[in-house]
Amino acid sequence: MEMEKQVSCRIEGEEEEKETTISFCDEIEEKILLNLPIKSLLRFKCVSKPWYTRITNSRFIHKHLRLSQSQANNNKLNLMLHDTYGPLSYYGNQFLDDDDAIATPTPLPLNQPLLLDFSDDEKKLHKFHIVGSCDGLLLVVVTWDNGFLVRRGADVIYIWNPTTREYKTLPKLVPTDRGSWDPMVYGFGRDPTIDNNYKVLHLGQSEVHLYTTQTNSWKTLLPDIPFYCSGDDASSMKLAYANLHFIAEIKGSGDFRKSVVSFDLKDDKFRALPHPPFKGDSHPHLKDLCALNGGLWAFSGSRDLTLYCLWMMKNFGEEERHWKKMFSFNKDVIMDNPPLYFSSAVDFLQDGRQVLLTAKYKRPHESKSNSCVICYHIDTKRARILIEPVPASWSMAAVYVESLISPNATSTDDDNRDISN
């Protein structure tokens, strides 16, 4: 009926016919382009000038991103792992939900920024740490030899879109207290009130720094609550609900347990969150925080590392916010395999009933532990190893959705609106 109305309207006049026809075609064209994968859009930019203008338009880019993030029926998981030194390990989107369809993923070719700038000897002395993921962009910290415990901080920090291969190098961060061996704990996310304004939060032992792409500069912050955060607890923060979350100790609180602290990307304020309600001695250790399906989760382990739990934050931002235990599993989830010692959760697969976990195990008569990525089925309580072995020193598995977001984009007056919905 809608088509018929437009046809009858076009008969009334030539000018109206021409205008209505163009509007109708634009609507169909945009709908088709919005449902295409990123790699196709990158090729189609060369088709014509109008298509180039549309595909590179900021509103189209963010609309495409929101559509991709909302399509639960389309598995958008792209996985990347740290290597011990040198290049990152990229696995792309090789994960399916059907047990019989999942093959053993293998690393794929990757054009990694700055890697070609190093000689073979220099590559052996550099580590590339993925310490944040947001809107298809990754925050990468390059350190020299000593990992996160570097006297003068990171050598290079850059924001990178691995799909479009664009990257932006941040101004060098030089802490005031250069003599301290500050842990380098980073967070990365977007200010939900402004398009293309991404923020990088750095926690040192004695200083807190904030970078924004809008100003392309660092500034020092004075936290609202006194806390101490070590690199062992959180080498990277987790992004959920437009907040960066990390594990820390609240100074002077009288509570010696590790706490959860959030940094609001809208107002740049720190706030303490309640601790998961561990009871007795079964789950006393908060091992990590996780950002799963857009929500905030906590990963805990028993004192003897035999039982693990995943907790979900409910009603975030409200007074009645609380943690709810969603499911648990033990170290012997894979038959005929040495016990697994889990470290964190990476993400859910498409159906929401399978979760990727990172773990380590040691075979008899082996001196070193093997690191691996595990797929655990919540309903069947079965697990299988997806990726092994990976270097024992890798510290994070990053997942992201492909997008056209440019790390070099700047905010405009038209972008200064709330785009969180």
Is the pLDDT at 178 greater than 80, yes or no?
no
Looking at every residue in the chain, the average pLDDT score rounds to 78
| The pLDDT of residue 310 | 95
Q: Give percent of the chain above pLDDT 70.
A: 73
- Residue 239 is encoded by which pair of tokens? 């992004």
The answer for 27, left when phi > 0, alpha when psi is -120 to 50, beta otherwise, is alpha
- In angstroms, the first-to-last Cα distance of the chain is 31
Beta partners for residue 288, in sequence order: 299
| The pLDDT of residue 280 | 60
Sequence letter at residue 295: G
| The pLDDT of residue 61 | 95
Give residues with Cβ within 8 angstroms of 197, minimum separation 6: 190, 191, 212, 213, 214, 411
What one-character DSSP code corresponds to residue 236? B
| The pLDDT of residue 185 | 85
| The pLDDT of residue 305 | 83
Beta partners for residue 387, in sequence order: 373
CB 83 within 8 A of CB 391: yes
- Residue 344's Cα: distance from chain center in Å? 14
Banded pLDDT at 196 (limits 50, 70, 90)? confident
Tens-place pLDDT, residues 262-321:
999 999 999 999 888 877 655 568 889 999 988 999 999 988 888 999 999 999 988 889
| The pLDDT of residue 73 | 43
Distance CA 386, CA 394 (A): 16
Banded pLDDT at 414 (limits 50, 70, 90)? very low
| The pLDDT of residue 371 | 82
Q: Please state the φ and ψ torsions of residue 274, each to the nearest 5 degrees.
A: -65, 155
- Residue 254's Cα: distance from chain center in Å? 33
Which SS3 state, helix, strand or coil, does residue 32 take?
helix
- Residue 167 is encoded by which pair of tokens? 């990257």
Find, among 161, 204, 214, 152, the residue nearest to 183 by Cα.
Answer: 204
Distance CA 241, CA 291 (A): 9
CB 376 within 8 A of CB 333: yes
Give residues with Cβ within 8 angstroms of 22, minimum separation 6: none
Tens-place pLDDT, residues 344-376:
899 888 668 889 998 888 877 777 778 888 889
| The pLDDT of residue 324 | 94
Q: Which of 62-66, 188-192, 249-253, 322-326 has the least mean pLDDT?
A: 249-253
| The pLDDT of residue 254 | 61
Distance CA 256, CA 285 (A): 12
Q: Would strands 322-330 and 341-348 be described as parallel, antiparallel, or unpaired?
A: unpaired
- Residue 318 is encoded by which pair of tokens? 């409200």
Is the pLDDT at 23 greater than 80, yes or no?
no
Which SS3 state, helix, strand or coil, does residue 5 take?
helix
| The pLDDT of residue 336 | 77
Tens-place pLDDT, residues 222-278:
887 788 776 544 368 999 999 999 998 887 666 656 789 999 999 999 999 988 887
CB 292 within 8 A of CB 298: no
Q: Give percent of the chain above pLDDT 90.
A: 34
Which SS3 state, helix, strand or coil, does residue 29 take?
helix
Is the pLDDT at 28 greater than 60, yes or no?
yes
Tens-place pLDDT, residues 33-56:
999 999 899 999 998 999 999 999
Q: What is the mean pLDDT of residues 194-215?
A: 90
| The pLDDT of residue 319 | 86
| The pLDDT of residue 282 | 56
Distance CA 100, CA 106 (A): 17
Give residues with Cβ within 8 angstroms of 275, minimum separation 6: 255, 257, 258, 259, 260, 286, 323
Tens-place pLDDT, residues 80-129:
886 655 567 777 777 655 554 445 677 777 777 776 566 666 666 677 88
Distance CA 90, CA 78 (A): 8
- Residue 222 is encoded by which pair of tokens? 């004075």
Q: Max CA-CA distance within the chain?
A: 86
Q: Helices (H) and strands (E) in the chain — how many of each?
A: 6, 24
- Residue 371's Cα: distance from chain center in Å? 20
